[in-house]
A and B are shown apart, each in its own frame.
Chain A
Amino acid sequence: MNIKNNTEDLEQEIADLESRLHNAKAQLASSPRSAKASSLSREPNGIPPSIPMHALLLLSDSALPLGSFAYSSGLESYLAHNKPLPRSVTSIASFRRFLKLSIASLASTSLPYVLNAYRYPETLETLDNDLDASTPCVVVQRASLAQGRALLGVWERAFRGSYGLYTSSGSSMANGAGTAAKAVKALEDFLDALKSCFDHVDELGPKGHFPPLWGVVCSIMGMDLHQTAYVFMLNHAKAVLSAAVRASVMGPYQAQAILASKGLQDMILQRIEREWDTNVEDAGQVVPPLDLWVGRHELLYSRIFNS
């Protein structure tokens, strides 16, 4: 009797726990942050889908021909404006400050465009226009356009063959075929609009800024949203560090040490978390002097970078 009661209790408890688990899962799936959780919940069947991983490696490769190495994102100008350094500040410490400011600024100005382009690829043209309107100087604009158009070139000549078709066969893992197909359509429409714009000069036509295009391309290639944001931020950090090595701020091993550090990882994750739900209307500059340094890059007597 006693044992039977116990088993009944246990069964009751199990049923109760199961229903709570079920509810919790349902709540998680319907919460706006579910996209972020999906990267974690994909593991159970043992074999992580290989396609996002493959795309992740392609897109995070520094050999991806975007020409990012030509831009220092204001580092060169920052160094010139903070010369000579006070005795108490080492050049590494000064660089670390810049990296922190640069990452915070990129996250607040550009990351919302990456996230929104991934979520709503059909708004690509509006996002491109709004980002162009929010770009405060020609130096930044030049850098963003050159990389955005390079990404479009890579899409057209390289990725389209594998990813433009594969989505129509409906095998996208992370997105579901519908979303990816929509993203492909948005990107192709944008490409057409950009090309037709070359013929007649329309100053307000599509431009091809990097951040929204990055979001759409990553979505097509099956990356999840959090990866998309992380690789976007990390690639920026890599470009700035590579510029620092070439501007002789530090050696290549020191640069790798910063890149590998927990501090950098945490910083990127924290910035992504902060901007995760930011609307593009609320994007803005959090580091006003950075606009000044970047804008004054043109005043440098000698330059080794394009920004």
Chain B
Amino acid sequence: MPIKSPFETDVAKAGHGEVILDLLPPSIPTLTTLTYKYPLKLLARTPGFVSRTSAQTCPSRPVHLYLLTYGGGLLPGDHIDVSITLKERTRMVVSTPQGSTKIFKTEPTASVKGQRGTPAHIATDMSRQMLDVRIDNEAAICYLPDPAVPFKDSRYEQVQTFTVDGTAPDSKRGSLCVLDWVTEGRSSRGETWDFHFWKGKNEVWSDDGSGSKKLLLRDSIILDDECDDAEQDADDSHPNLIRERTHPHGIVGTLILYGPVYENLASFILHRFTTQPRIGARNWSTSVSPAKSATESYSSTTNTNVTWTAARVRAGFTLVKFGAADFEAAKSWLGDLLREEGSVVREFGEEALICL
């Protein structure tokens, strides 16, 4: 039996972290719990920013939480498990100040051919990040991290679960803004979707207090090259399924908006989407040649290099999905959109957009 380390605490397991943010009277945001353990590091800071023009009456000061990992990335087998609780009327900005979350290579292992269910031995060397956030009434989270960058041959799974109180009236509900995006890898080294597996799942559950939960929203992207490692080593001509399925994009992502704090932003984005130029529209008023107008209408849909869609799905959620040629294009498009509307900066301060 190994000797127990005297520095070991039973508060946190490896990679686990727990944060509870509460509001002490009169209106002082306080972290009542902040624990973490290697390879995870959590830092919190409360800048003096106070929102002056907010969608909510007397908003509290936002607390910034930085998610850090040693080396700014995840090695095979690293499991990060963070649980955050936002008590009533608190506000939190979560960001990744180390830049993109790098996901390092997984050593080849045999997998069961042709099956999606993950065998146990694969599960152990896959990097995994779990985030579980409980948002009480009138609390708000703004989570706009850098994208995940899965390196060649990596395997990664990310599950982010948010729980809100389903019984609250619309104006008192918790609010959330979550961005989840993934790039094709280190494009500077010629990687284009060369990883084995990337899965990003975001769920929002409603909890009515009596213990019964209902799924409000699930957004799940699975990028799987579906090939046996052993087989791939023998045969490099295996077509890259992920590249085929993401073409022509070099980055894809999802933005989820919910709750009163983001109501304006959601309406703004939806309006921007529905007033985009029609695809294939012709300008009948001028006498341009048909061939020319066809190319013009085509370029007008692609000139920003970002293809996106927005929809108000059910239960007051707004879902924005986008794909772009590269990280810079997506970043500037999204950053411009959020800055132009301005409510994220108004509610949480300029620093909330640090990654954009």
Chain A residues within 8 Å of B, Cβ to Cβ: 77, 80-81, 83-84, 97, 101, 104, 108, 129-130, 132-139, 141, 203-204, 270, 273-278, 282-289, 291-292, 295-296, 298-302
Q: Which 5 A-B pairs have the closest CB atoms?
A: A284-B220, A295-B309, A301-B278, A301-B281, A137-B311
Q: Are A81 and B279 in contact (CB under 8 A)?
A: yes
Tell me whether A84 and B294 are in contact in the complex, defined as CB-CB below 8 angstroms, given that A274-B116, A287-B245 are known contacts.
Answer: yes
Q: Are A81 and B245 in contact (CB under 8 A)?
A: no
Q: Is B73 an interface residue (CB 8 A)?
A: no
- Besides the known contacts A137-B309, A141-B313, A289-B323, 4 further A-B residue pairs in the complex with CB atoms under 8 A apart: A133-B217, A134-B219, A273-B114, A289-B252
Q: Are A300 and B280 in contact (CB under 8 A)?
A: yes
Tell me whether A84 and B321 are in contact in the complex, defined as CB-CB below 8 angstroms, given that A137-B311, A204-B214, A292-B307 are known contacts.
Answer: no
Q: Are B245 and A80 in contact (CB under 8 A)?
A: no
24 CB < 8 A contacts A-B:
A81-B301, A108-B222, A130-B218, A137-B313, A137-B319, A204-B214, A273-B114, A274-B114, A274-B115, A274-B226, A284-B201, A285-B220, A286-B222, A287-B245, A288-B246, A288-B249, A288-B321, A289-B245, A292-B308, A295-B321, A300-B278, A301-B278, A301-B279, A301-B297
Instruction: Place the interface of chain B in its size category.
Output: 35 or more
Choose among B244, B274, B314 the residue that contacts A204 (Cβ–Cβ < 8 A): B314
Chain B residues within 8 Å of A, Cβ to Cβ: 114-117, 199, 201, 214-224, 226, 244-249, 252, 274, 276-282, 294-295, 297-298, 301, 307-315, 319, 321-323
Q: Are B311 and A289 in contact (CB under 8 A)?
A: no
A-B interface contact total, Cβ < 8 Å: 131
Interface of A is mostly: helix
Q: Are A291 and B321 in contact (CB under 8 A)?
A: yes
Which chain A residues lie closer than 8 Å to B219 at the CB level? 134, 136
Output the nearest chain B residue to A132 by Cβ-Cβ distance.
B314
A133–B217 CA distance with the chains assembled, in angstroms:
4
Which chain B residues lie closer than 8 Å to A285 at the CB level? 220-222
Which chain A residues lie closer than 8 Å to B199 at the CB level? 284
Choose among A101, A130, A136 the residue that contacts B311 (Cβ–Cβ < 8 A): A136
Which chain A residues lie closer than 8 Å to B220 at the CB level? 134, 282-285
Output the nearest chain A residue to B297 by Cβ-Cβ distance.
A301
A108–B116 CA distance with the chains assembled, in angstroms:
10
